Structure 1
Amino acid sequence: MIEYIKGELAEAAPAFAVVDCNGVGYGINISLNTYSAIQGKKEVKLFIYEAIREDAYVLYGFSTKQERELFLLLISVPGIGGNTARMILSALSPRELCNVISTGNDKLLKTVKGIGLKTAQRIIVDLKDKIASTGIEEEASTVSSLSHTVNTEIYEEAVAALVMLGFAQAPSQKAVASILKAEPDAAVERVIKLALKML
């Protein structure tokens, strides 16, 4: 079993990364959260989940163990496969997902592409207690407290502009937060331009 892959980031796209580990390039499916975390890095370490089927051998990679734990919880729900779980983790950050599940917010979960109301309700019912018992929620809030250091005025303005341009709220927030983390003094125009390249 592969626990993690550490090596040089040879390629990175919003849904896929290639990590060169001692001359072997591993093609790894990633979420938008992980893409934001690894962007611009030369060396990366991705925690791996291996999906071995008759017709395919697929690797899913995550920048944190906590995101992988959430992925494993999601795929334990009947009807949720690897790609749907990855879609959910791309639309919502780990903290947002924990929040949505613990507060029973099926409306927000339903906004994720490919998730209907019944599936959203099933995810909440199946995972509410599991999330509380694993302590993922506390970890998630620690991770996201970093985002409080970004300039809130520019953050809100940039997110509002991206939403008006037709992008979904959650990925826009994620993109803007990661840009402002890297460049805290960036002007709104620059943040929006960079976000457009990421989304």
Structure 2
Amino acid sequence: MIEYITGEVAELSPTETVIECMGIGYLLNISLNTYSSLQKGNDAKLYVYEAIREDAHLLYGFSARRERELFLLLISVSGVGPNTARMILSSLNPSELEQVIVSENVNILKSVKGIGGKTAQRIIVDLKDKIKPTGDPLLESTPMNNDVFDEAVAALVMLGFSQQQSQKAVQKLLKESPQMNVETVIKVALKML
């Protein structure tokens, strides 16, 4: 199995990259999170998942080992294939995904294109015991923040902002300042949106 590939980013698009290593160009499927960490012409190290099928040998690349670990957990869930897992990791960064799973927030998972209610529930049920908080303060104080998160998002949606827009803003604020109360989160989010 290939652990990682290090080389120059020869080609780059939001969904794939070609890493040139010792004269060989490796095409890797990537998430938007990994895309944002790469720059064409620069050297990069991508952790690899190899999907070997009857009709193709595909490589998936990740700029961080933790993103690959989450990818592997996601594809272990029945009904979640590599492309669906990549879509989830393009919509949520690794710490956001961990928070969503730990806090059992089905609605955020359902907002990802191609994820229905049953799949979102299955992901949470299958993975909530496998996700370990990584020292992120938002993860360590989930019960308090979950209430603040839900109330702030609901208020912003009632004020006319989209669910996804509201969730991203509130999640960003709580990640930066986990002790914020609902009113403060809403006031600051209104300035951001």
Q: Which aligned pairs between 1:65-144 and structure 2 lie closer than 5 A? A: 65-132=65-132, 137-138=133-134
AA matched with 2:108: L
Q: How many residues align?
A: 145
Corresponding residue SS for 2:97: helix
Cα RMSD of the aligned pairs, angstroms, is 2.3
AA matched with 2:28: I
Residues 62, 103 of structure 1: CA spacing in aligned structure 2 closer, same or farther, 3 A cutoff?
same
Task: Please say if residues 71 and 89 of structure 2, whose CA atoms lie closer than 8 Å, have aligned partners that are also in contact.
Answer: yes
Look up the match of 2:33: 33
Task: Please say if residues 33 and 93 of structure 2, whose CA atoms lie closer than 8 Å, have aligned partners that are also in contact.
Answer: yes
Identity percentage of aligned residues:
62
1:37-69 superposed Cα distances (whole Å, 9 cap, x missing partner): 113561000000000000010000000000000
**Greater Cα radius of gyration, structure 1 or 2:** 2
AA matched with 2:79: G
1:55-91 superposed Cα distances (whole Å, 9 cap, x missing partner): 0100000000000000000000000000000000000
2:58 and 2:137 mapped to 1: Cα distance? 30
Residues 169, 48 of structure 1: CA spacing in aligned structure 2 closer, same or farther, 3 A cutoff?
farther
AA matched with 1:128: K
TM-score (normalizing by structure 2): 0.70
AA matched with 1:85: A
Question: Which shifted more, 120-129 or 40-49?
Answer: 40-49
Q: Which has the higher contact order (CA 8 A, sep 6+)?
A: 1
Corresponding residue SS for 1:73: helix
Corresponding residue SS for 1:84: helix
4+ runs of 1 displaced by more than 3 Å?
Answer: 139-142
Corresponding residue SS for 2:129: helix
**Unaligned stretches of 5+ in structure 2?**
139-161, 170-193
2:63 and 2:72 mapped to 1: Cα distance? 14
Residues 41, 139 of structure 1: CA spacing in aligned structure 2 closer, same or farther, 3 A cutoff?
farther
Corresponding residue SS for 1:9: strand
Residues 11, 55 of structure 1: CA spacing in aligned structure 2 closer, same or farther, 3 A cutoff?
same
2:54 and 2:101 mapped to 1: Cα distance? 32
Residues 140, 34 of structure 1: CA spacing in aligned structure 2 closer, same or farther, 3 A cutoff?
farther
Look up the match of 2:4: 4
Residues 96, 125 of structure 1: CA spacing in aligned structure 2 closer, same or farther, 3 A cutoff?
same
**Unaligned stretches of 5+ in structure 1?**
143-165, 174-199
2:44 and 2:113 mapped to 1: Cα distance? 28
AA matched with 2:81: G
Task: Please say if residues 10 and 41 of structure 2, whose CA atoms lie closer than 8 Å, have aligned partners that are also in contact.
Answer: no
AA matched with 2:74: L
